[in-house]
């Protein structure tokens, strides 16, 4: 079995952590997503990061926020969604690109969360039911149709996106001859039209954790609990159960896919 040092060496190669492995094209970026199954935008955990794998100088060195993104390759994250990959906010509210296989693992959780959140709050239910009737909708149209202020809609959509009940995608619009950016919101069951995931929500979280560890190659064990939004599905034996089932392996305080 691989040692922790060997796993870290493999992680550096597979997650493209060295400049020699820098992504050079959109096709390479898509292959990277399909290989890893999920990509964060920027490096914030052991999960593989698209921008980290670009190894490009920041847009504006020394400045915070968006200025830290790759100077020329920053649009690749959005362009992968144009190629049909979902971008979800289930990484504790942060953007996560997922492959088709990962979306199957997400499906039971996101469907369960749609029903849970619909039953839990009248505002969430109103937004989800409205989308069920109208289909994916631009946020400005939603504000008008639901009679909501910008901050009111944001307060409703944010927790729904974080839990996977709603998926947002960027949209480019033409107004007065100029281009403007907006967002289109869709329920999970509208945004994802692939095969249904077979596990229940708790079992699906186990499948997702295994897929995430495989994406990272190796990760500190305590970090796993912080990867996804759904703390209410987590149990104190979550990792133990996956280790006993032969799906994960512990290595010096870290875990790797068995």
- Rounded Cα distance between 76 and 93, Å, is 20
- Rounded Cα distance between 186 and 139, Å, is 10
pLDDT of residue 173 exceeding 50, the answer is no
CA-based nearest residue to 157, from 171, 192, 146, 99: 146
Q: Let me know if residue 221 belongs to a domain.
A: yes
Query: Which CATH number characterizes residue 178's domain?
Result: 1.10.10.10
- Rounded Cα distance between 29 and 79, Å, is 10
Virtual CA dihedral for 126, 132, 135, 137, nearest 10 degrees? 20
Instruction: Supply the range of the domain harboring residue 248.
Output: 201-257
Q: Which one of 173, 191, 209 terminates a domain?
A: 191
The pLDDT tens digits of the residues spanning 72-82 come to 999 999 999 99
- Rounded Cα distance between 45 and 81, Å, is 22
pLDDT of residue 139 exceeding 80, the answer is yes
- Rounded Cα distance between 54 and 19, Å, is 8
136 and 175 inside one domain? yes
115 and 145 inside one domain? yes
Q: Which one of 143, 158, 191 terminates a domain?
A: 191
43 and 120 inside one domain? no
Q: Let me know if residue 93 belongs to a domain.
A: no
79 and 156 inside one domain? no
Phi (first) and psi of residue 255, to 5 degrees: -130, 150
Q: Let me know if residue 98 belongs to a domain.
A: no
Q: Let me know if residue 122 belongs to a domain.
A: yes
61 and 111 inside one domain? no
Q: What is the side-by-side order of every strand in the sheet holding 178-187?
A: 137-138, 178-187, 166-175
Percent of the chain with pLDDT over 90: 88
Predicted confidence at residue 177, as pLDDT, reads: 45
pLDDT of residue 18 exceeding 90, the answer is yes
Predicted confidence at residue 65, as pLDDT, reads: 87
- Rounded Cα distance between 157 and 155, Å, is 6
Confidence at 111, pLDDT banded by 50, 70, 90: very high
Computed over every residue of the chain, the mean pLDDT equals: 94
Predicted confidence at residue 176, as pLDDT, reads: 45
Cβ atoms within 10 Å, residue 25: 10
Number of domains in the chain: 3
Phi (first) and psi of residue 46, to 5 degrees: -75, -15
Predicted confidence at residue 181, as pLDDT, reads: 60
In sign, the C-alpha dihedral spanning 22, 25, 29, 35 is negative
Q: Let me know if residue 99 belongs to a domain.
A: no
241 and 177 inside one domain? no
181 and 114 inside one domain? yes
42 and 112 inside one domain? no
- Rounded Cα distance between 168 and 184, Å, is 6
Q: Let me know if residue 91 belongs to a domain.
A: no
116 and 56 inside one domain? no
169 and 219 inside one domain? no
Q: Let me know if residue 109 belongs to a domain.
A: yes
Percent of the chain with pLDDT over 70: 96
pLDDT of residue 179 exceeding 60, the answer is no
Residues whose CB is less than 8 angstroms from the CB of residue 232 and which lie 6 or more positions away in sequence, other chains included? none
Is residue 86 within 8 Å of residue 167, measured between CB atoms? yes
Q: Let me know if residue 90 belongs to a domain.
A: no
Residue with tokens 């992680």: 11
20 and 78 inside one domain? yes
Is residue 184 within 8 Å of residue 137, measured between CB atoms? yes
33 and 64 inside one domain? yes
Predicted confidence at residue 171, as pLDDT, reads: 65
Residue with tokens 């693992």: 105
What tokens were used for 244?
């006993």
Q: Which one of 138, 158, 191 terminates a domain?
A: 191
């Amino acid at each position: 079995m691989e040692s922790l040092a060997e796993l870290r060496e493999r992680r550096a190669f597979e997650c493209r952590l060295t400049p020699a492995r820098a992504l050079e094209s959109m096709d390479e970026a898509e292959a990277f997503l399909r290989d890893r199954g999920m990509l964060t935008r920027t490096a914030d955990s052991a999960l593989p990061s698209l921008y980290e794998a670009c190894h490009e100088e920041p847009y504006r060195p020394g400045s915070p926020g968006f200025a830290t993104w790759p100077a020329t390759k920053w649009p690749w994250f959005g362009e992968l969604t144009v190629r049909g990959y979902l971008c979800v906010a289930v990484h504790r509210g942060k953007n996560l690109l997922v492959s088709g296989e990962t979306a199957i693992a997400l499906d039971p959780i996101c469907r369960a969360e749609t029903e849970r959140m619909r039953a839990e709050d009248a505002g969430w239910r109103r937004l989800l039911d409205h989308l069920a009737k109208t289909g994916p909708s631009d946020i400005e149209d939603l504000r008008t149709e639901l009679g909501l202020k910008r901050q009111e809609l944001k307060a409703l959509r944010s927790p729904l996106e974080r839990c996977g009940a709603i998926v947002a995608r960027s949209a480019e619009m033409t107004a007065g001859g100029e281009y403007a950016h907006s967002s289109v919101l869709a329920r999970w069951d509208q945004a994802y039209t692939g095969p249904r995931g077979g596990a229940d929500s708790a079992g699906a979280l186990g499948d997702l954790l295994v897929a995430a560890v495989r994406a990272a190659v190796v990760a500190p064990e305590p970090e796993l609990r912080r990867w996804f939004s759904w703390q209410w599905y987590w149990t104190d034996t979550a990792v133990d159960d996956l280790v006993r089932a032969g799906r994960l392996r512990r290595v010096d305080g870290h875990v790797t896919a068995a």
